[in-house]
Amino acid sequence: MKVAVLGAGAIGAYVGAALHRAGADVHLIARGPHLAAMRQDGVRVLSPRGDFTARPHATDDPAEVGPADFVFLGLKANSYAACGPLIEPLLHGTTAVVAAQNGIPWWYFHRHGGPYEGRRLESVDPGGAVSAVLAPERAVGCVVYAATELERPGVVRHVEGTRFSVGEPDRSVSPRCLALSEAMRAGGLKCPVEPDLRNDIWLKLLGNISFNPISALVRATMRQMCLHGGTRRVIETMMAETLAVATALGCEVGVSIERRLAGAEKVGDHRTSTLQDLERGKPLELDVLLAAVVELAEITGVPVPTLRTVHALSDLLALRSAA
């Protein structure tokens, strides 16, 4: 199995190192000091499950890699529309694109069925720009439950979690999902094939839609947000509104808000990916988290006043941080 990791940051390098350790033909595509470090010393993973080093091929030139069986997208979702020149050399007729993104994916209504079949969400696929680059037919959904940080170039700190749930937009259990699951599990990761991955998308989103923007607005860790009474109540309300939208779309999360908060508190003083991006001066990945759910709320007629308020505040933060 040949796997190209496009955007081999903290999550991408972690997955690539695990797959390489299991014997897959892995190629990491990155840039800058992180690429230089991986070329020289490989990927060093520091984990409570055991440290290890893997030395997959690393490059900044996708043409050097050529077509792969799977392209694991470690890019932020707001980079997808512009990634055409990078991903094109990696594709052949049956290449699957595994997008390890947070939030609502561009393929969400592809083969969804029902009244929303084929609908495009402007917030995640503006003008169809993402679908033009990443054909929904190639998409294998992936929901990441692992928390990682790039401690320094070439060194990934694995904080907790090893689950990467995968699934087809049409809800089938496909041979390509089964093959990917087997390779991931051989590398020491959990990788269940979910018949309806959209339920997992909403489960993960329940935390991301609340903790990520709030963490950036108040510069707080997961534990700090959970322990502050007022902030915790805002997060609870955001989660309740999100669950209402998910229910309107026929999805079942299956986890209570209190349990979701308890799990987040247990993570401790972990900084969300949005807070990390803010601190590093990177664009904030909020459209697929907040704007998408506000758009879905408009489609389904579900009132989400708190989500709208936090979206307005965090959208201004994103604009100011990008200036």
Residues classed as catalytic:
204
92-110 CB burial, b ≥16 within 10 A, e <16: eeebbbbbbbbbbbbbbbb
Q: What is the largest CA-CA distance in the chain?
A: 54
Distance CA 270, CA 90 (A): 34
3-class state of residue 193 by DSSP: strand
SS3 state of residue 4: strand
Q: How does strand 25-29 pair with strand 2-6?
A: parallel
Instruction: Tell me the C-alpha distance between 235 and 249, whole Å.
Output: 21
DSSP 291: I
- For 252-290, the DSSP string reads ---S-HHHHHHHHHHH-SPPPHHHHHHHTTPPP--IIII
